[in-house]
Amino acid sequence: MTTKVTRDQVFFAFQPELTPVAHVQQGEEVIMETHDCFEGQLKTSADLLDSLDWDHINPASGPVYIEGTKPGDVLRVDLLKMDVANQSIMVTLPGEGALGDQITEMETVVLKLDGDTVVYKDKVRVPKKPMIGVIGVAPASGSVPNGTPGAHGGNMDCTLVTAGASLYFTVGVEGALFGAGDFHAAMGDGEVVICGAETPGEFRFKAQVVDTLKGLPTPFLRNENLVAAIFSAPTLDEAASGATHAMACFLTEFVGLSVNDAGMLMSLAGELKFCQIVDPEKTVRFEFPVAVLEQLGFRMD
């Protein structure tokens, strides 16, 4: 029987002291249900942010204890399937986000799914692109609220985190203590007003340690077309520098390029992109094409 984590099994900060809600073997498939980032508190356009219980923001489901994982291991989490609910929520809050200086009114908008589109105010349709905002493992020490991204993952809000992608995390504590939440039916890079189309959902994953990638700068991601180094820092400048150096580290230490070749190929074919610019730490990713890695004879485990 497949292990299932339900959306009432939540935590609000990644930390070593969390109690696992399930123990699974490496490679075993797990189904995880998630709340939206408001834990379902906003249901209609009349539910404004000032009615929120802020102690119930950004729940992540889990954590799941992955047997046989120990600190320093690189854990690959394969996102096999992902579904989002038919309704999602967007909000504005004066003072918050990249336009907080201009936004003067709280507003809650309910968006509906229609086939492969998300419908905004009954007239604008954008492509449905489900993605996971909060995903990660417990850090080796300390406690990171789920609203904050970091080296452990967390609230990275990276639009690449979706079905078909694999994410790599460096394990901080025995069992890894993996969790996820904050699904979006769609979200633009930057997440400028502090939200995407916030929705409950469900996903299926499996996780295993990859010995050949020990020392990989994480969080790291791969999908069919690209690999990406993800980096969070207090400023966008630091995050951009961190993501760039993490990709250069991958290309030199794991792919075997010289610094000059790595740098020139990154400058030629790489893409530096914002994940989000509104959280307590900002997140940037450096993308690099799998097609180039293949020409270099490298295949990612």
Q: Which two tokens stand for residue 218?
A: 């994480």
Is 135 an interacting residue with respect to Ca ion (CB under 5 A)? no
Q: Find the binder of Ca ion among 21, 30, 37, 180 (CB under 5 A).
A: 37
Establish if 202 lies at the interface with Ca ion (CB under 5 A).
Answer: no
182 touches Ca ion by CB under 5 A: yes
In the shown chain, the binding pattern of residues 71 to 110 toward Ca ion, with x for contact by CB under 5 A and - for none, equals: ----------------------------------------
Tokens 């450096």 map to which residue? 286
Q: Which residue is nearest to Ca ion (CB)?
A: 133
- Does 157 bind Ca ion (CB under 5 A)? Our answer is yes
Angle at 188 between CA 182 and CA 194, to 5 degrees: 55
φ, ψ for residue 166 (rounded to 5)?
-120, 135
The residue (of 21 and 89) whose beta carbon lies closer to Ca ion is 89
Q: What share of the chain is helix, strand, coil (3-state, %, to 5)?
A: 15, 40, 45
Does the footprint of Ca ion cover residue 36 (CB under 5 A)? no
Q: Contact with Ca ion (CB under 5 A): which of 155, 218, 244, 283?
A: 155
Element (H, E) at 98: none
34 makes contact with Ca ion (CB under 5 A): no
Max CA-CA distance within the chain? 57
Give the range of 85-93, 181-189, 215-223, 243-251 binding Ca ion by CB under 5 A. Answer: 181-189
CB of 275 to Ca ion, least distance (A): 10
Least distance to Ca ion, CB of residue 41, Å: 13
Q: Order of strands across the sheet with 282-289?
A: 3-5, 30-34, 201-209, 74-84, 166-170, 220-222, 226-233, 282-289, 271-276
Structure tokens at 80: 């096999």
What residues numbered 228-287 form the site for Ca ion, per CB under 5 A? none
Give 96's contacts (C-beta < 8 A, 6+ positions apart).
Answer: 103, 193, 194, 278
Q: How far is CA 20 from CA 9, 16, 32, 150, 209, in A?
A: 10, 10, 13, 21, 18
> Binding Ca ion by CB under 5 A: which of 130, 133, 172, 181?
133
Least distance to Ca ion from the beta carbon of 238, Å?
Answer: 19
CA–CA separation, 191 and 194 (whole Å): 5
SS3 state of residue 247 = helix
Stretch that binds Ca ion, among 7-15, 30-38, 78-86, 292-300 (CB under 5 A): 30-38
CA distance 42 to 118: 18
Segment near Ca ion (CB under 5 A); pick from 39-47, 131-139, 235-243, 289-297 = 131-139
Least CB distance to Ca ion at residue 282 (A): 12
Q: Give contact residues for Ca ion (rule: CB under 5 A).
A: 37, 133, 155, 157, 182
